[in-house]
Structure 1
Amino acid sequence: MTAALPTPLPTRSKSPLGAFLWALLKLGILLWCVFNVGMLLWVGLNSFRGGSRIFSQPLELPNSLDFGNYVNAWTVSNLGRGFINSILLVAVCTAITVVVAAMAAYVLARTRVPSAGPLTSFFAIGLGIPVQVVIVPLWVAMNSISSFMYDTVGWWDERLSLGLLYVATSLPFAVFLLTGFFRSLPTELEEAAALDGASAWTTFTTIMAPLARPGLVTAALLTGMGLWNETLLALVFVTDNEKYTLPQALLGLYGTMQYTSDWGGLFAGIVIVVIPTILLYAFLGRRLVEGMTLGAGK
């Protein structure tokens, strides 16, 4: 006598309205992506043109791939110096943020202290505070630090103040992201390391940090891309032209091109600012998605 096969569970079919809304949402996302890619291609093509014909004949293709606009934007408008300043600031601040956030997140995720939960919530609250709200207290604090350093050491650099603010404003998101990632990792390896006599620091550096590499890469990429495009803090705290970041130099280029009508040079500057993040996401975008989904799926 054969056993009766189990009846399959009924599947819930989408209503016509739900299917229509879902198709409409996907169409909207597709159109938004096509629009952004089209605008990027338009800016890239017009970076090889010049003059007011960019707006009188916006769909005209460039006659040749002349890189003179890029040379002028890089040298005349100090985009080259701003590029170097941004590279140094973003690289150093991203590294410091990820290292500090990883240690803090590991402690918050693994400790049994009752204050761990409120501290995690404190970092989460920091995500919802706009920088514009606290810009005046930040300016007062950085002014006090710079005055103290000038009085005691006799030297201070505006980029150090900006770097401190970059780390401070990036920590809430990095700690919040990595805390959830460390919580998703198994505890058996930590228990085995503790039985072997490994300290907490050794366990973190040799076992848990390598396991959390996808999360660390995700935090580094998101932090770096956010700092690369940051403009407000740089405008407020950096006043020396030689210390401008790349977004500041691009704003200066925009002011110059308004009077010369060299819009091709402005578009070339935009491409210089945008292309590093595009290349970074093109090479490491898969790791970014894997890190986010791996941390959320466990």
Structure 2
Amino acid sequence: MSTVDSRVSVAPRKPPRKPKPAPGSRGLSPLRVLGMAFVWLFTAVNLLVLYWLVSAAFKTPIEIFTKPFALPAHWFERGDPFRNFAYAWDNAGFGRAFLVTVVLVAVSSVVIVLVSAPAAYALTRLGARGADGMTNFVAIGMGVPFQTVVIPLFIGMAEVNLTNDLFGMFLVYVALSLPFTVFLLTGFFKSLPDELEEAAALDGASPLRTFRTIMLPLARGGLVTALILNAIGLWNETLLAIVFLNENANFTLARALFAFNSAASYQSEYGGLIAGVAIVVLPMLVLYLLLARRIITGLTLGAGK
């Protein structure tokens, strides 16, 4: 018995395979070093541009060209540091344009989310026939540059006398922003648990009530993200305002800045012009810095499925 056992050869057992390290846990590879260097260089360039914009808004034209990266001195020494901002605000009509922009952007962003939320819910949760095809059709709308539809859109709006009209501008903003917002919100509604919806159906709740009382509160992060992204995009929009608005009373901030550019350049008021740029840029920059964490969390929340 022992002789037979001694003749049986047992194959050596292979050691278990080591798991692959998580991404980013390895040492610094040349590609990673290059990527980090590019990111930091891009960040440094943007911070330098931001510094130049803010400092130039307080400088005289001579300081802007002779000392582009030095701290402003002339208007501070004269005790009138906000002279450029006052000039831009008074001569560019930024007061009314600021009010028009705030109201137009706020109303448009809210309506966009109010229309997109039920549309995204219907495409993802109600099991409607052809929902996948309709979702793909909405996604196609994101790939069409709005610059290509400006001329036919202007002709159509002119036929119904909605050019140079804030209500017409509101309709254009809502229509062109719906594809992105619907597609964004479909990801949030897909990530919501099915069990809550099934429990509501067993309790006799209608789809409308389920959407209003259960799904909307759960998708609040996505709704807030969509609202903020639309507000930032519409605040900075310029081309549509240039095409559709031609009266000072209806100008948005970006449109008023475009009209102010010629007058300020002719009078060599480059400090006032840069101050006007700062008035347009800085509110959305501050808003993004305050809500950056919420925006990033909202964008990644719907990626669970």
Q: Does the alignment reach a TM-score above 0.5?
A: yes
| In 1, Cα distance between equivalents of 2:225 and 2:126 | 23
- Aligned twin of 2:85: 70
Residue of 193, 216, 223 corresponding to 1:216: 223
| In 1, Cα distance between equivalents of 2:88 and 2:164 | 26
Matches of residues 263-278 of structure 1 in structure 2 within 5 Å?
Answer: 263-278=270-285
- Aligned twin of 1:259: 266
Matched, 1:110 2:120: no
- Aligned twin of 2:143: 128
| In 2, Cα distance between equivalents of 1:157 and 1:232 | 14
Matched, 1:32 2:42: yes
- Aligned twin of 2:112: 97
| In 1, Cα distance between equivalents of 2:48 and 2:302 | 33
- Aligned twin of 1:288: 295
- Aligned twin of 1:183: 190
Shift of 1:59: 2.2
- Aligned twin of 2:52: 42
Which letter does structure 2 place at the counterpart of 1:180? Answer: G
Which letter does structure 1 place at the counterpart of 2:285? Answer: I
Residue of 168, 171, 186 corresponding to 2:178: 171
Matches of residues 129-208 of structure 1 in structure 2 within 5 Å?
Answer: 129-146=144-161, 158-208=165-215
- Aligned twin of 1:61: 71
Report the RMSD for the aligned CA atoms in angstroms.
2.1
Unmatched 5+ residue regions in structure 2?
A: 1-12
1:83-116 deviation line (CA, Å, top 9, x unaligned): 1111111100000000100010000011222211
Unmatched 5+ residue regions in structure 1?
A: 148-155
Which letter does structure 1 place at the counterpart of 2:142? Answer: L
| In 2, Cα distance between equivalents of 1:102 and 1:23 | 42
Checking the alignment, whether the CA contact within 8 Å between 1:52 and 1:263 is kept in structure 2 is no
Identity, % of aligned positions: 46
The higher relative CO (CA closer than 8 Å, separation ≥ 6) is in 1
Shift of 1:179: 0.7
| In 1, Cα distance between equivalents of 2:181 and 2:134 | 14
Matched, 1:236 2:243: yes
Aligned residues between the structures: 284
Shift of 1:194: 1.2
| In 1, Cα distance between equivalents of 2:19 and 2:205 | 52
| In 2, Cα distance between equivalents of 1:162 and 1:215 | 25
Shift of 1:56: 1.9
- Aligned twin of 1:9: 18
Which letter does structure 1 place at the counterpart of 2:184? Answer: L
> Greater CA radius of gyration, 1 or 2?
2
| In 1, Cα distance between equivalents of 2:35 and 2:304 | 24
Checking the alignment, whether the CA contact within 8 Å between 1:124 and 1:176 is kept in structure 2 is yes
Shift of 1:10: 4.0
| In 1, Cα distance between equivalents of 2:92 and 2:151 | 30
Checking the alignment, whether the CA contact within 8 Å between 2:142 and 2:179 is kept in structure 1 is yes
Using structure 2 for the length normalisation, give the TM-score: 0.88
